[in-house]
Amino acid sequence: MTVTAAPTVRNRLVVHIHGYQLTAPERFHRRFARDLTTFGETWSARTGTGVPEVLPRQARWQAEASGPDWRTRTDYRIIRLDDLIAQGHHRPLLGRIVLGIRGLLDFVLDRAIFGYFRHGWRYAIFTIAPLAMMLASVLAGYFAARWSSGSIGPWFGSLVGIAAFAAGFAFFSRKFYLFILLEDWAFASILARRLEPELAARLDESRSEVQAAIEAGTYDEVLLIGHSLGAVMILHFAEMLLGGLPPENATTAFPTRIALLTIGSSVLKIGLHSAAAPLRRATAAVTSFPRIVWADYWSQHDVMNFPYVDPAVAMGLTPRHPPISRKAIFRQMISAEALRALRFDFFRKHNQFFHAATRRSGYDYFMFTCGPFFCADLAGSPHGAMDWLDDAGAITGNAPTCAA
C-alpha cells in the first residue's frame, strides 16, 4: 500500500441557509468578503470574492482561496429568506405581537419546553425570556398607572401606565430584540408543522440545481450549511436532495462528496415539538443515508443552541449514521477582548459561527467553505486543520492522506 498526497478540494459548491435574520443578500456578501479576507490573514492564504448575483429566490457568488500548494474555488449560494421574513416584519404592530405570542405559547404549552429543560436549560430560559420581558412591561405600566392615578387622576394615570408599558416594550425590543424574538417564534410554529409552499419551492429549486451538479460530477464536494433555524431547513433540503439521487452502486458512483454542516443549530427547537413529524422524518432519512456526512457544531458560549446533545437521539431516533458532534470554542477563535465585548450581545455571539476567526482554531467557517480540506476530514479531526497548514499556508505532512 502506498500513501498519496493529501486529498484537497479544488471545486466546492456551498448551499447556506441562515436563521431568522433580515439580512439582505448584498449585506451578507459584503460581510462574507470582509471575513474571507480575515480568513486569509489567519491562515496565510490568498483570497478573493466575486460579485454577487442576487436572484428572487437565491443569491450566489464565487470565492477563491489558495496557498503555496493548493487552490480552492467555491460556488457559494444562499437560499433567500430575507424577503419572506420581511413580510412578517412589516405586518401591523398588533398583529406581530399577537402572532408572536401565539407562536411562543405553542412551544411553551407543548412538550417541547420540557425537552428544552432536559437537553439545554439555557435554551429553555431563552425561550421564556420574551414572556418575562412582556410581563415586566405590563407590570411597569400597572404600577406607573397606580402610582400616578392618586395625584393626576385615573384617566391621566391610565395614559401614564400605557406610556410606561410602551416604553418597557420598546426598551426590550431595542436592547434584547423582543419583536424579532416574537416573529421568530411565529415563524417556528409554522415550520414545526410544514414547509410553506414558497419556502418549499425555494428549497426544491436549489435542490434540482445541486442534484444536477452532483450527477455531472462538477464539484469535488457539495456542502450544505444551516445556521440556527436554517439548520432545520437544511435538513429538509438534504432529505429532498438525497431522495432524488439514484441508489449508489457500481453504475451510479458519483465522485462528489456530500456533507451537511449544522452550526449553532435550532434543530431541537423544532424537533422536540409534538407536531414536528416532518423534521423527524427528514432527520431519520439523513442519518440513514451512508453517502452524506453530517457535522454538528455547537458552543457553550451560545445560549441559542443545544451543547453536548445528539439532535437525532434527542428526537427519539436511532440514527444508523449519527452526526459528528463538535464543540466550537469561541475563546480560541477570537481574542479575549473581542469575546468580552460580545458578553451580552447574544445574537452577535450566536452569529459568530459564520464569522471569520482571527485565530487558528479547530472550528473555522471559512475553512469549511473555502479551505482545501473536505468537511468529513475537518469534522473528524478534534483540532480541525490546525496541524494541516504551516505558517506559510502550505499543506503539512499531518494533513489527511489517501491510501492507494
Based on the domain organization, do 56 and 201 belong to the same domain? yes
Based on the domain organization, do 207 and 76 belong to the same domain? yes
pLDDT tens digits along 117-132: 999 999 999 999 999 9
Grid cell 442534484 is found at 211
Tell me the chain's radius of gyration from C-alpha atoms.
23
Which cell numbers hold the place of 169?
Answer: 416594550
- Strand locations in 267-327, DSSP E? 292-298, 324-327
Based on the domain organization, do 116 and 202 belong to the same domain? no
pLDDT of residue 94: 87
pLDDT tens digits along 212-238: 999 999 999 999 999 999 999 999 999
What's the pLDDT band for 182 if we cut at 50, 70, 90? Answer: very high
pLDDT of residue 250: 42
Based on the domain organization, do 213 and 303 belong to the same domain? yes
Q: Sign of the C-alpha dihedral, residues 156, 159, 161, 167? A: negative
Report the DSSP beta bridge partners of residue 80.
Answer: none
Helices (H), 153-276: 154-176, 178-191, 197-216, 230-244, 267-271
Based on the domain organization, do 228 and 167 belong to the same domain? no
Is pTM beyond 0.85? Reply is: yes
- In angstroms, the CA 219 to CA 214 distance is 7
Based on the domain organization, do 230 and 377 belong to the same domain? yes
Tell me 7's DSSP state: P
- Domain housing 280: 3-83+196-403
Based on the domain organization, do 253 and 351 belong to the same domain? yes
Grid cell 398588533 is found at 94
pLDDT of residue 3: 37
pLDDT of residue 175: 87
- In angstroms, the CA 192 to CA 178 distance is 21
- In angstroms, the CA 322 to CA 312 distance is 7
Is residue 294 within 8 Å of residue 231, measured between CB atoms? no
Based on the domain organization, do 303 and 246 belong to the same domain? yes
pLDDT of residue 30: 97
- In angstroms, the CA 130 to CA 109 distance is 14
Overall average pLDDT of the 76-83 stretch? 97
H or E stretch covering 394:
none
Based on the domain organization, do 181 and 307 belong to the same domain? no
Which cell numbers hold the place of 189?
Answer: 410554529
Asked if the model's pLDDT at residue 1 lies above 60, the reply is no
* 173, 189, 205 - which closes a domain: 189
Asked if the model's pLDDT at residue 2 lies above 50, the reply is no
Asked if the model's pLDDT at residue 103 lies above 90, the reply is yes
**Cα dist. 93→82, 89, 130, 315 in Å?**
19, 9, 16, 35
pLDDT of residue 346: 87
What's the pLDDT band for 403 if we cut at 50, 70, 90? Answer: very low
Grid cell 474555488 is found at 73
H or E stretch covering 62:
strand 58-67
- Residue 399 φ/ψ region, left for φ over 0, alpha for ψ in the -120 to 50 degree band, beta for the rest: beta
pLDDT of residue 261: 98
Based on the domain organization, do 49 and 73 belong to the same domain? yes
Helices (H), 44-153: 82-89, 93-108, 112-119, 121-152
Secondary structure (DSSP) of 253-279: --S-EEEEEEES--HHHHHTSTT-HHH
- What percentage of the chain reaches a pLDDT higher than 70? 96
Is residue 396 within 8 Å of residue 387, measured between CB atoms? yes
* 148, 165, 189 - which closes a domain: 189
Cβ atoms within 10 Å, residue 212: 11
pLDDT of residue 67: 96
Q: Into how many domains does the chain fold?
A: 2
Overall average pLDDT of the 325-330 stretch? 96
Asked if the model's pLDDT at residue 49 lies above 80, the reply is yes
Overall average pLDDT of the 64-79 stretch? 97
* 189, 209, 238 - which closes a domain: 189
Based on the domain organization, do 353 and 222 belong to the same domain? yes
pLDDT of residue 254: 66
- What percentage of the chain reaches a pLDDT higher than 90? 80
pLDDT of residue 204: 97
pLDDT of residue 188: 97
Which cell numbers hold the place of 274?
Answer: 409534538
Based on the domain organization, do 13 and 79 belong to the same domain? yes
Report the DSSP beta bridge partners of residue 12.
Answer: 74, 221
